[in-house]
Amino acid sequence: MEQVNLDIQHAIRKYFPAITEKALQEEIASVGKVLSFKAGERIMDFGAYVKMVPLLINGSIKVVREDDEQDQELFLYFLQAGETCTMSFSCCMMNKQSDIRTTAEDDTTLIGIPIKYIDEWMMKYPSWKNFVMRSYDQRMQELVKTIDNIAFYKLDDRLLHYLQEKAKASSSSTINATHQEIAQDMNASREAISRLLKKLEKTNHIKLGRNKIELVQ
């Protein structure tokens, strides 16, 4: 993690057009800290007390749920520029420990807002309130989509879907990951993933390389 110098107001106007009030943009600029993370860097760990809410302006963040008892985890969704982590809201407001883990999927830059403003601004700036509400809605949608996925679909469909999400997150049709990493995200066995990837290659959905998967078309 590294603190960066950057014109916050400009970034907000560009990536968060829904945040319209000038005064709010100024407040964000004055209290926000611009942080950047290298791809793969841990942003928020399980059990960490969250003190900031991130406004993403670049890159993408992977959000993962972990099962404490057993040693398992499950990918939930990616956050991208223009989005924020509502899980952080919850954690902040309730001042409770985080039960998810976030890592930078690509090199990522974000504006961190100290938690106390989240709430304060809700009553002061309508566009902030709308932004927060819309973010919550989006995340609920994502969670429901995740539920659909694991409840209603089999591993092959889930795998393809995961690959597509991952490609979209990095805006590239090439995915850099090992089968092992994918298996972990999907809470599946590496062998099953390897076999299904082969199948996807045969059906011409992907091209396989070492540490690399290319989405076809």
Partner DNA sequence: GCCTTAATGTGATCTTTATCACAAGTAATA
Partner DNA sequence: TATTACTTGTGATAAAGATCACATTAAGGC
Return the residue of 64, 74, 194, 207 that touches DNA, per CB under 7 A: 194
**Which amino acid does the sequence have at 18?**
A
CA angle 45, 49, 42 (to 5 degrees): 20
Query: What would you report as the CA-atom Rg of the chain, rounded to the nearest whole angstrom?
Result: 18
Convert residues 151-190 into a mask of x (bound to DNA by CB under 7 A) and - (unbound).
Answer: ---xxx---------------------xxx------xxxx
Q: Which does 95 bind (CB under 5 to 8 A by kind): DNA, a second copy, none?
A: none
Reference 215, options 180, 165, 179, 181; nearest CA is 165
Cα–Cα dist 51/216, whole Å: 41
DSSP state of 158: H
Within positions 119 to 158, which residues make up the interface with DNA, using CB under 7 A?
Answer: 154-156
Q: What are phi and psi of 35, to 5 degrees?
A: -120, 145
Angle between helices 155-169 and 126-152 (to 10 degrees): 150
| C-beta closer to DNA: residue 166 or 179 | 179
Binding residues for DNA, how many (CB under 7 A)?
21
Positions that interact with DNA (CB under 7 A): 154-156, 178-180, 187-192, 194-195, 197-198, 208-212
Positions that interact with a second copy (CB under 8 A): 65, 67, 70, 72, 74, 76, 86-87, 89-90, 93-94, 99-100, 119, 122-123, 126, 129, 133-134, 136-137, 139-141, 143-144, 146-148, 150-152, 187
